[in-house]
Amino acid sequence: MQVASSIVAFLADPNVAIILLIVGIYGILFELLSPGAILPGLVGTICLILAFIAFSALPVHYGALALLLLGIGLMAGEALTPGVGALGVFGLVAFVVGALFLFESGGPGIDRRVSLGVIAGAAIACAGVSFFVLGAALRARSRPPVTGDAELIGSRATVIEWSGDRGLVRVHGEVWSARGAVRATDGDIVRVAAREGLVLTVEPQ
């Protein structure tokens, strides 16, 4: 029982509570962007649960909490929309204001405010993660696949030998059987148009 009380007392620190909340939210966001990663979602879920426990022991100002969450959402939204950074700036302001007023006064001599150092560090971290890390993850998801057929189709191939409408070509360092209505000699460059099993269909470059 004493251990549980000590844990709750630790979590009831406003600085700990807000850090847990932020880590939890971004952990879930990373899991949504990279399904199957497991670790970000697991860590995020645990941190969110601990943050809820902390909030239950603190005098939370729910309007400020909503403003803080809106700020995180706007900064994350900046990664989704190619713009001039307006969402990110408004999100950063909303985050800082929400964090400043997140916890109500605990009475005379009781300071329940998040320290300015933690707010500044959290704001910088959230902005960096939202603008760069989430943006990079989203750009990676939007790239076309570069394996299998998608890597071959459209590639340039070097003719090794050719006779009639068939021959051998080299693509990405590999030798393939090829066919196509092209007149080619050794060393010519052709374009891969399709693949059927282990045979490529090529066309003039």
Task: Give yes or no: residues 56 and 153 share one domain.
Answer: no
Task: Give yes or no: residues 95 and 178 share one domain.
Answer: no
| 8 Å CB contact between 8 and 16 | no
Task: Give yes or no: residues 78 and 26 share one domain.
Answer: yes
Mean pLDDT of 101-108: 71
Mean pLDDT of 6-30: 87
Task: Give yes or no: residues 26 and 125 share one domain.
Answer: yes
Distance (Å, rounded) from C-alpha 43 to C-alpha 47?
6
Q: Which of 94, 97, 78 is nearest to 86 (CA)?
A: 78
Kindly give the residue spans of alpha helices, DSSP state H, lying in the chain.
2-11, 14-33, 39-56, 62-80, 86-100, 116-128, 135-142, 149-152
Residue 146 has pLDDT above 70, yes or no: no
Task: Give yes or no: residues 159 and 133 share one domain.
Answer: no
Mean pLDDT of 63-78: 88
Task: Give yes or no: residues 136 and 192 share one domain.
Answer: no
pLDDT the model gives residue 138:
59
Distance (Å, rounded) from C-alpha 139 to C-alpha 103?
37
Mean pLDDT of 129-151: 61
Task: Give yes or no: residues 88 and 15 share one domain.
Answer: yes
Residue 109 has pLDDT above 50, yes or no: no
pLDDT the model gives residue 87:
80
pLDDT-derived band at 64 (thresholds 50, 70, 90) equals very high
Say how many C-beta atoms besides its own lie within 10 A of residue 187's C-beta: 8
Residue 83 has pLDDT above 70, yes or no: no
pLDDT the model gives residue 141:
55
Task: Give yes or no: residues 15 and 102 share one domain.
Answer: yes
The CATH number linked to 178 is: 2.40.50.140
Number of domains in the chain: 2
Q: Of the segments 34-38, 59-63, 75-79, 150-154, which one has the largest average pLDDT value?
A: 59-63
Give the structural domain span for 155. Answer: 149-204
Report field, pTM of the whole predicted structure over 0.85: no
